[in-house]
Amino acid sequence: MRHCGLLLVLAAAACAEPWHTELCTGGADLWHARVAVDLTNTGDGALNGFPVELPIGPDAGQLPLQDTRAEAVRVCDAAGTERLFDLRGPGGARLQEGVIPAGSTLAVPAALEPQATERLYVYYANPTAYPVPDFLQGRAGAPNGGFESGAGDVPEGWQLDPAGPDRHNEWSTESPHSGQRCVKTVVAAGAEPSWIAVRQGELTLVPGKPYRVTAWVRAENVVGYCGWYLHVATPDNPMKLGPIERAGDGTFDWRQVALEFTAPPDATTLQHGTVLWGTGTAWFDDVKVECLAPPTTSFKIGPIERVDLAEFGLGDDYFQEGRRLFECRIPAVVINAGPAVRQALVQVPAAALLTRLRRGYNPNSLRVVDPATGAALRSGSTSAPTCASRRARAWPTTTCSTAPRTWCGTRRSKTPTQCRPPGRAAPRVSRLRP
């Protein structure tokens, strides 16, 4: 039987303000850099999640996220409560993975009373973080209004209504108004008039503010009319306002249509999109949604803060007790990103460890190894252990994972299982020094 031990690998650092280490999907590491962002509502109306776009780049007043991993970006308030965000590249495409280029933007929600300020923290530089499961959906404008970015047959941020036997939408390259792309709607001659559109929804509106929506349209052999529509939603009516601006019929080159409206006092979101009521072909491009009196919000981006951990732990040798070698161990990485702590209880939930021990454990084989000396600490055992500390519990298994970097755990600890197959050297665990 293989025997297991729980190894506590400790790391410590000190920060002027609390460092948030329990952000979601962080993997085995923590965030090594952050920037404080102060959002201020200088207007006379409350903001309830209004998206504020922060520029990304190397200059003053910009977030220094350029050339870092999109997967590692997190946003939280001072209490550590995470906020949804929307990270987009220079062309308007959402960035979920890969390197962030300069010229990108990070939209964060502002929930502020009049004349109020809130501090948010933008974290980055976690090499093991993976993408967050959800993003901020509302935007203040019309993302990808030029239809330039997308994947497959669909432009990013837009929805194409399903095709029918006599009508369909396309993401087109046929003589766009600008750039390389536009969208196109085709309805066969003789077809019954029906609604078919390329749509974009969930754009955030500020109640009581004036707006202008513009789009460019061209047509060929349109019988009926083509143009652009709006749906302004309130909590009790998804079409509180629903104007349509007609661009015309027949055949014509690119012409601009414009719609202006004032958001109702209880307005929430805007949906907008193309119109071809009748038959023929119409192309659409370069859409803009502008607030003519935008909220008076301001932001101040602070300096880069970094946390450099002084790390220490156990080396490559697996624990041996007499002639018995413990061939499986579960490191528990404990992080102190605050002031120095002389003594503390470290909890490692047993549920996180049990996922690595598929065939149970022998309480008599539980050992906890001191990371500084390599000696076993005193350890009790129970039939259903619930946590681990400096007197933590670990247990043996005959089915340990052989993937030393397959991590399980919780926000309190990172607990990979490391096994040494017979005849092979032990997986490397860096010897960490203060």
Q: What is the pLDDT of residues 60-98, one digit of tens each?
A: 999 999 999 999 999 999 999 999 999 988 877 789 999
3-class secondary-structure state, position 352? helix
With a cut of 60, say whether residue 228 has pLDDT above it.
yes
Give me the mean pLDDT over the 165-184 stretch.
96
- For residues 109-133, average pLDDT: 93
The second-level CATH assignment, the architecture, of 20-136 is Sandwich (2.60)
CATH architecture of the domain covering 150-291: Sandwich (2.60)
Mean pLDDT of 342-365: 67
Q: What is the mean pLDDT of residues 409-428?
A: 37
Of 108-112, 164-168, 294-298, 376-380, the least confident: 376-380
Q: Does residue 133 surpass a pLDDT of 80?
A: yes
Q: What average pLDDT is seen over the chain?
A: 79
Please identify which residue in the block is written with the tokens 């030029």. Answer: 146
Q: Do domains 20-136 and 150-291 have the same CATH topology?
A: no
Strand partners, 186: 168, 281
Using DSSP's 3-state secondary structure scheme, residue 351 falls into: helix
* Residue 67: CA count within 13 A, CB half-sphere: 3
Measure the CA–CA gap between 223 and 211, rounded to whole angstroms. 30
pLDDT of 126 higher than 90:
yes
| 3-class state of residue 101 by DSSP | coil
Question: Bigger pLDDT: 256 or 421?
Answer: 256
Exposure pattern of 332-352 as b/e (b: 16+ CB <10 Å)? bbbbbbeeeeeeeebbbbbeb
Domain residue ranges in the chain:
4-11+308-419, 20-136, 150-291
Pairwise CA distance, residues 26 & 21, whole Å: 9
Distance from C-alpha of 70 to C-alpha of 350, rounded to nearest angstrom: 32
Stated pTM of the model: 0.66
Q: Which residue has the tokens 């309480």?
A: 363
Q: What is the pLDDT of residue 351?
A: 66
The pLDDT of residue 330 is 73
Cα–Cα distances in Å, from 427 out to 311, 328, 355, 371? 19, 10, 20, 16
- Say which residues have a Cβ less than 8 Å from residue 33's Cβ, sequence separation at least 6: 123, 124, 125, 304, 305, 306, 307
Q: What is the pLDDT of residue 403?
A: 27
Checking if the pLDDT of 422 tops 60, the result is no
Give residue 111's pLDDT band: very low, low, confident or very high (50, 70, 90). Answer: confident
The confidence score (pLDDT) of residue 359 equals 60
Tokens 């732990």 locate to 313
Higher pLDDT, 316 or 108: 108
